[in-house]
Structure formats: C-alpha cells, structure tokens
Amino acid sequence: MNKKKYNFLIPFNLPWDWSADYQRQTCLELSKKYKVIAYIQNDRKFLLKKLFFIKDAKYPILKNIKFYAPIDLIPFKRFKVTQKLNDLINFKVLEMCYLDKNKKIFWIFDPVFYPVLKYFKGKNLYDCVDVIANKDPKTYELIKEYEKKLIKETDYFFVNSETLREKHKKIKKPVKVIPQGFCIDIYKKPLDVGKSLGNKKPIIGFIGAINQRIDFDLVFNLIKRNQKWNFVFWGNIQDSDIRDFQKTSSLINKLQKFDNFIFGKSKDRAEVPNIVKQFDIGIIPYDVSQEASYYCYPMKLFEYFYENKPVVSSGVKEVKKFPGLVKVANNVEEWEKWIKYWLDNPLNDDSKRYQIELAKKNSWEKKISQILKLIGY
C-alpha cells in the first residue's frame, strides 16, 4: 500500500466544527493510523471565484487529514448535468492525485451523497447515525429515496442503535449495531473552564447544539414554574436553516430574561466536562414529535453518564433502554416529578460504575476499531 496516498474519503454536508461532530471525530480517530480526506461540500467554489474573488476556507493543520473543497470548472451549476460533470471531475482528481489505488473506502454519513457514489472506484460504507430531516417535502422525499438506494447498494451498512436497526432492517440488515461514539478523551483530560455555575440551587443542565430539535415550549414552562432550580443550556446555537437559527436565537434571548436560566458556550470542547461536572441532573428536552428527535441517539447521554449524572429525557426511543439511569417524561408535570425524584434519590455506586462502563464502551475508539475490523482493515 502506498503510504503517501489516502485510504478514507469522508464527505461533509456541514462545517468541520459543527457541534454534531460524528464526521469530525471519525476523521480524527481514523487519522491515528490512516490518511483521511475530509471532503467539505459546503466550501465548494467555482474556479474563477476561487482564483479572483473568494478566499479559501481555513482549516486546522492536522496530521494525516487533508481538507478538500470541491472546485467547479464548469459554470451554471443550477443545471443537473453541469453539477454531475463537476462532481465527476472532482472525483477524478481525487482518484488520480490522492486516493490509494488498492485500499480505499468512501465513508458516507449523509444519503445526500448517494448520487456521487458512482464516481468512486472502490468500496463504500454507510455509517447511519441519524434519520433524515428536511423541512422541504420534495427534498425530504428525494433524500429518503437516496437512503433506500444507498442501503441496498453499499458494501458495508452500519447503524449505531437498535432503533435505527429496526427502522431499516426491512431494506437491508446492517452488518452490525456499533457503539454510538463520544469523545471520551476530553473527559479524561478536561480543561478548566474557569467558571462556576453557582451552588445555591440544584443545576439542571443541557449540553450540545441548541436548535429547533429542542422542545422550547416545554423548556419555557419548566423554567417559569420552577424558580427553585437553575437551568443551564451550554452550547452553540446551530441551525443550518437561517430562519430556524433566527428563531432559536430569539427563543434563547427570551429565556435569558429568567433569573434561573444560564446560557453559555465554550471556546474549547475540552472545557465542557467541567461544565457537566457542575450539573445535578443532565437533561435531553427534545421535541419527539419530530422524527429526527424521536429516532436519534444523543451523544450527550454518554457525556452525562461519564460524569455520573442521572438523566431526564423526552421520549427519545433509544434512551428508554436505560430505565435505571434515564427517566422519560412526556409532559411538564412528569419532568418536574422525575427531576425531583433524582434530586431526592441520587445514583448509587453500582449505577455510577455502570454509567462509566457504558460510556467507555461507546467511545470513538471502540466504534471505529469495530468497524475497521469488520471491513478488514
């Protein structure tokens, strides 16, 4: 195998530093042993714009990871045939200049990349970590059709939860249900955040991307009705749709008017563990009327577990398999009941050891090593 060539091609449909960082973490874990290309779709440019008008996006310098933003040579990308030709050219460049001829994998997370699968001359893998979500009905149906075709045609099909296995098994049985993946390294060596959330009231906390997946009606009611508890939301406001971003920002601004609501974010992800340490309870207040929320498997669950925090969650299907560690609430009264329950009944030592065990089994290292073994790397 030519050590100068790259073994894995991972296409991104979101920025490199997005909070839902399964693509980024996969690149980082693979790069410990292999060379990886991060194909950043959002930063693609027309050649003339690249040369004369728009500066290239800045990426971190990382060992064994190459960032590749597609370059379109042919204008008028609104035409499908033009887009196909530009995609073909970019994949030919990757094939000739960067990818290992004999041992390479196209590692796909998002079915939106199904149409370019035919341009990749090698094995491919569908790492299914979530369900499709798109507010535009036509786009949603198109991507759903892409996913069916991708599942049927991919060389390797993996899911990270029993919920997704059940959802997709009629199309094709996954190779295996693999670990979820969470960044255990920053929890082993956290940075001091230098911020105290206060200890006068119990702290009910949420970490992660703050977006329209959250049930804000529930959150408003909880905060308004329970001044005896402090509620912390720690993370970036991240909605890919600008209208959703503006709506989420407005809702957070309204929540900040409550004295018992704290909103913050970290410059470095390694600061997050010392925020979670200060929580009394971790929460997942998702709007499960949304398909993407109902079928998700929140990575934050294992972040809460690693710090031995009991959890209250909306009715996310996958979290229901941890009844001794997660209490599921369906309305504001049940949320209040279970929050009070955990405050009055802390986890015992056996439950805490089990949480740590679960978190370790779901590290990125465990996930990627299992996949590599199953695909013969």
What are 297-327's pLDDT values in tens digits?
A: 999 999 999 999 999 999 999 999 999 999 9
Task: Provide the pLDDT for residue 1.
Answer: 44
Cα 304 to Cα 57, 252, 300, 358: the distances in Å are 34, 22, 6, 11
Q: What residue ranges in 119-249 does DSSP mark as E strands?
A: 123-128, 156-159, 176-177, 203-207, 230-234
- Widest Cα–Cα separation across the chain: 65
Tokens matching residue 296: 């998700």
> How many angstroms separate the CA atoms of 269 and 212, rounded?
22
Q: Tell me the C-alpha distance between 375 and 130, whole Å.
A: 21
From the list 50, 41, 54, the residue with the least C-alpha distance to 15 is 41
Count Cβ atoms below 10 Å from residue 55 Cβ, excluding itself. 7
Tens digits of residue pLDDT in 323-366: 999 999 999 999 999 999 999 999 999 999 999 999 999 999 99
Residue type, 89: I
**What's the rounded Cα separation, in Å, for the pair 233 and 300?**
13
In 3D space, the residue among 45, 48, 64 whose CA is nearest the CA of residue 56 turns out to be: 45
Q: 184-361, what's its fold?
A: Rossmann fold (3.40.50)
Burial class (CB in 10 A: 0-12, 13-18, 19+), 349: exposed
Does 8-181+366-374 match 184-361 in CATH topology?
Answer: yes
Going through the chain in order, the beta strands assigned E by DSSP cover 8-12, 36-40, 45-46, 65-68, 71-72, 105-108, 123-128, 156-159, 176-177, 203-207, 230-234, 261-264, 281-284, 311-313, 326-328
CATH of 8-181+366-374, one of 3.40.50.10420, 3.40.50.2000, 3.40.50.2300, 3.40.630.30: 3.40.50.2000
Q: For the chain, which ranges sit under pLDDT 70?
A: 1-3, 48-57, 77
Cα 337 from Cα 344, distance rounded (Å): 11
Tokens of 176: 């295996």
CB atoms within 10 A of CB 190: 19
The H or E element that residue 24 is part of is: helix 22-30
pLDDT at res. 15 = 87
For residue 56, what pLDDT is reported?
Answer: 58
The full set of domain ranges for the chain reads 8-181+366-374, 184-361
